[in-house]
Amino acid sequence: MNTGPIARIFRIAWLLMLLVAVGLLSAILTMQVAIHGAEVQVPALKGMTTADARSVAAGLGLDLDVDNRYYSSDVAAGHILSQSPAAGTVVRREWRVRVAESLGAQRVDVPDTVGANERVAELELRRAGLEVGETARLPYRAAAEGTVLAQDPPPHAQGIEQPSVSLLVAAPDDETPDGYVMPDLTGWQFASAEAALNKVGIKTAPPSFVNVPAEPAGSGDAPAKLPVRPGEVLTQSPSAGSRVDQSTLVKLTVVR
């Protein structure tokens, strides 16, 4: 029996399979080249001026977004403080790189807006080169509606991080409060501090206890005395002046 035609058919089939395999391999390699060609490494932008950083990012096909500005005594105004993603991260072209820009050292004096009308307070802050941060409202019958009751950071504060001031504003008695300004609880007894916070619906975490050594005994028969009393609040988080609400969990460090 003549097997020549069958052998030729098998050879043709084998050649076709080989051509298909080569085509698939070529397609895969082409796709990999295309994918990797669309990827770039995020450059190190920290310390550059914002204009230079934007130019470098654009040259790599990346978008630059300045989403925060902070005071810094170490980085000159108009230069990049930080970035995300970090330098060296591989991303696709047209990826958005978010940076924080330095405002330089703090040179503005934080105005005292407590007691002023909310609108007046906003104008004073903007005139000083500051922004109005969060505004919380608290029902308070002892002051006219719209009166600023407290601010964070406090008046004339130094070493502030952001150029914004949050306000606590008096609201009518029948309005539901949307936030409070954290009081200074240091020196309070823990039970009193916890009760004051719970009264407005703010919860406290289990306290962290620390031992505080007694002071050396005085002369004669004077007994040793503690610099603080057991149960007294030493530190708190959030700090005094911060905006808090019913979702905030306050953490207190207490003398054992």
What digits encode the pLDDT tens for the residues 59-116?
999 999 998 899 998 999 999 999 999 999 999 999 999 999 999 999 899 999 999 9
Residue-level pLDDT at 3: 55
**Pairwise CA distance, residues 168 & 126, whole Å:** 17
* Per-residue tokens: 190: 């823990």
User: The pTM is what?
Assistant: 0.55
* Per-residue tokens: 36: 């990797």
Task: Provide the residue count of the chain.
Answer: 256
**Pairwise CA distance, residues 67 & 61, whole Å:** 19
DSSP structure class, residue 117: B
Q: In the chain, count of helices (H) and strands (E)?
A: 4, 14
Half-sphere exposure of 149 (CA within 13 A, CB side): 23
**Alpha carbon 149 to chain centroid distance?**
25
**Pairwise CA distance, residues 139 & 142, whole Å:** 9
Residue-level pLDDT at 151: 87
Map out the domains of the chain with their CATH numbers: 41-102 (3.30.10.20), 118-171 (3.30.10.20), 182-255 (3.30.10.20)
Residue-level pLDDT at 255: 92
Half-sphere exposure of 193 (CA within 13 A, CB side): 26
